[in-house]
A and B are shown apart, each in its own frame.
Chain A
Amino acid sequence: MIAIENLSKRYGGTAVVDAVSLTVPDNSVTVIVGTSGSGKSTLLRMINRLVEPSGGRVLLDGRDTRAEPAHVLRRRIGYAIQGNGLFPHRTVAENIATVPRLIGWDAARIRARVDELLAVFQLDAAAFGAKFPHELSGGQQQRVGVARALAAEPAVLLMDEPFGALDPIIRAKAQDDLLAIQRRYGTTIVLVTHDMDEAFRLGDRVAVMNAGRVLQYDHPAVLLTRPADPFVARLAGSADRALKLLSLVTAGDAAEPGEADGPAVAASASLREVLSELLWAGADRAAVRGPDGEHLGRLTVAAILARGRAGG
């Protein structure tokens, strides 16, 4: 658990981060979202002390982060950034081995971990381990950057706009991969982005920041249905908030018992996708299928629309 207590950063007289308190539960994804200059990156960088706070403190599993030297603290916290920051003069395997080497793992353990991570990130160890970063595509580089951040099995992973440099299709895949990896390793992730869709897609909880303050910190659905502030409402997007709300729920979660003669949809699809599918097909109900094609229930247009209603 990460407890941020009354954390501030002032440069001269201006507070870039102003008395922020929030708690990040274990095994969850927290997204800090805001416009540029809102202080979101500074807040993130104070967690691993790349920026030293002017006031307040950060507790990592109850322990003040200032209890140990900053570089020792950072070796326990994964860190991935926009443009991935891979070392161009080191191979993919050497890049991933960075932190394990710093903390003195033996060579066999490092090699096993590198191979495991390359497999998890769908990169063939034999083909990619010895390559240099410039020989990889943008999406592959980004995956290596995240693999490197996870190399020493950190309980916490900080990510600063990690998908900012990717094109939309690769970005969607990278987001899905990140969620799969989060579930696999149970990592606590704090991710900074300016993209509200990304925040809703990834975040178990979303913190909206503006001018150094956290305006609202809650589940995405609450941000949409009960915005605490006009700024949050505007950032969440009032025009399509019903559709955003639908995109937070999967067909599997919303399915009701019963047979359906309409088109089949996957349980992992969002209600927004199911609604679109039904509109396109001109049907009023869909059959929800599990990963192995088993029947899980049905979804009607009326039931989906009810979920998009304010307070629904």
Chain B
Amino acid sequence: MAAAGGALGPVDRLGALLAGIGALAFLGLPFVVAKPNRILPGDALSLAAALPGWQAVACAALLAAVAVVAVGVREPRPRLAAALAGIAAVALCAAAAGDALTPPGNHVVRIAPGAGCWLLLVSLGVLAADALAKERPGPAARIAFLAAVAGVAALAFAHGTFDHLSVMREYAANAARFAAALRRHVLLALGSLVAAVAVAVPLGILCHRRPRLRAGVLATLNLVQTIPAVALFGILMVPLGALAAAVPLAAALGIAGIGAAPAVVALFLYSLLPVVANTVVGLARVAPAAVEAARGMGMTRAQVLRGIELPLALPVILTGIRIVLVQNIGLVTIAALIGGGGLGAFVFQGIGQTAIDLVLLGAIPTVALAFAGAVLLDALIETLERNRQ
């Protein structure tokens, strides 16, 4: 590969590193693990052992070509195309291995992607991300790319491409619970976010107007941020439990010491600091001359806030909201510990059963949700900032 790179021109260092890691993963680590059931350890198989000969050879040839592009080609577009082709090939090979290694009618065996498969996907993912970063697509192109990836993934699931892989086996066994958990997960993350924004933006405006308030509020919220999530759940159990016991209406509304209520309250509290701090920073960043001119021309306080200060601070406030969104999607996972539901339920159940596939069933959609949320909000922020300097 080094010789091929030399023939094509200067060697791309990141590409060479990724190609090296990929080659080691492909040659030295198991591509799939075939387990007799979901808990027992399984047999580690290379790609050649898992797939009929011609498929393995075709896949190896394609990955070698991707490695050549990664090492020797500088333009981002062919690098991105090669990385995506590699990801598709690895994913399809894993799916094909699942099909090939599953005896017909057997629902007990688990064919899981092995360390080599995961490492290949990570290397190719880094290659794709690097190419995307260099290509610098605009907000619309990034959203289109995200939609295309989501569309391809949805098609693959609808078609049942990965149905014989272990994670999808866990999904099949938990399909009804999965849909409810996903809805619950999104609801908890977005609900606490909306509540936090409704409180934090006015609080940030107040802190901007009253500098004396600012230090105290930010210090308090900083303190909240340092409490570990599990400890905060514990702290909230007592007052929320007491509230539910004392006020029947609260109990009727679903407020209790465990479950969704303390989860939402904890996420809400964690969400305050980034949004308050970014609102303060965003308002402070608004050009004083613009505010002075607005007041001098006869805008009322409210008109200046609505028409000038908030629109100009919006990109910074949205950056805070983006932090909170990604943070919440991840933190909701822990809510399952206190019966809050969400995708974390699979994670903790999987840990309890040492069923790593069940853990992945909770973890992979969580990561995908956070990633999609970040891409969408980043695109929104960039669109807003285009005309404001």
Complex Cα–Cα for A99 and B297 (A): 6
| Cβ–Cβ contact A84 & B293, under 8 A | yes
Range of interface residues on chain B? 20 to 34
B387 at the interface (CB under 8 A from A): yes
Q: Which of B293, B298, B387, B388 contacts A75 (CB 8 A)?
A: B298
Contacts of B289 in A (CB 8 A): 81-85
Partner of B297, one of A82, A84, A88, A102: A102
Q: How many A-B residue pairs have CB under 8 A?
A: 71
Question: In the complex, what distance in Å separates the CA atom of A79 from the CA atom of B294?
Answer: 9
| Cα-based distance from A86 to B311 in the complex (angstroms) | 14
Give residues 289-333 of B contacting A (CB, 8 Å).
289-300, 303, 308, 311-312
A84-112 contacts to B (CB < 8 Å): 84-89, 98-99, 102
* A81-B292, A83-B289, A84-B289 known; A89+B298 contact, CB < 8 A: no
Interchain CB contact under 8 A, A87 and B308: yes
CB of A81 within 8 A of CB of B299, answer no
B60: min CB distance to chain A, Å: 53
The answer on a CB contact under 8 Å between B297 and A75 is yes
Interface centre among B290, B295, B298 (most CB of A within 10 A): B298
* A89-B292 contact in complex given A71-B300, A148-B297, C-beta closer than 8 Å: no
A132 within 8 A of B: yes
Are B297 and A81 in touch, CB under 8 angstroms? no
Contact of B389 among A87, A134, A158 (CB under 8 A): A134
Residues of A within 8 A of B311 (CB): 89
Query: Is A74's CB within 8 Å of the partner chain B?
Result: yes
Q: Which residue of A lies closest to B312 (CB)?
A: A89
Q: Does A299 contact B (CB under 8 A)?
A: no
**Which residues of B lie under 8 Å from residue A149 when comparing CB positions?**
297
Chain B residues near A99 (CB-CB < 8 A): 297-298
Q: Is B245 an interface residue (CB 8 A)?
A: no
Q: Are A85 and B298 in contact (CB under 8 A)?
A: no
**Interfacial chain B residues near A132, Cβ < 8 Å:** 387
Residues of B within 8 A of A134 (CB): 387, 389
Report the separation of the CA atoms of residues A134 and B312 in the bound assembly, to the nearest whole angstrom: 14
The winner among A72, A88, A145, A158 for most chain B CB atoms within 10 A is A88
Chain B residues in 8 Å Cβ range of A98: 294, 297, 299
Top 3 nearest A-B pairs (CB, nearest first) are: A85-B293, A75-B298, A79-B296
6 interchain pairs, CB-CB under 8 A: A50-B296, A74-B296, A85-B293, A87-B312, A98-B294, A132-B387
Further contacts, 20 of them, CB under 8 A, given A88-B389, A89-B387: A50-B292, A71-B298, A71-B300, A74-B297, A75-B298, A79-B296, A80-B293, A83-B289, A85-B292, A85-B294, A85-B296, A86-B293, A87-B290, A87-B294, A88-B287, A89-B312, A102-B298, A134-B389, A149-B297, A158-B296
The interface of chain A, by Cβ under 8 A from chain B, is 48, 50, 71-76, 79-89, 98-99, 102, 132, 134, 145, 148-149, 158
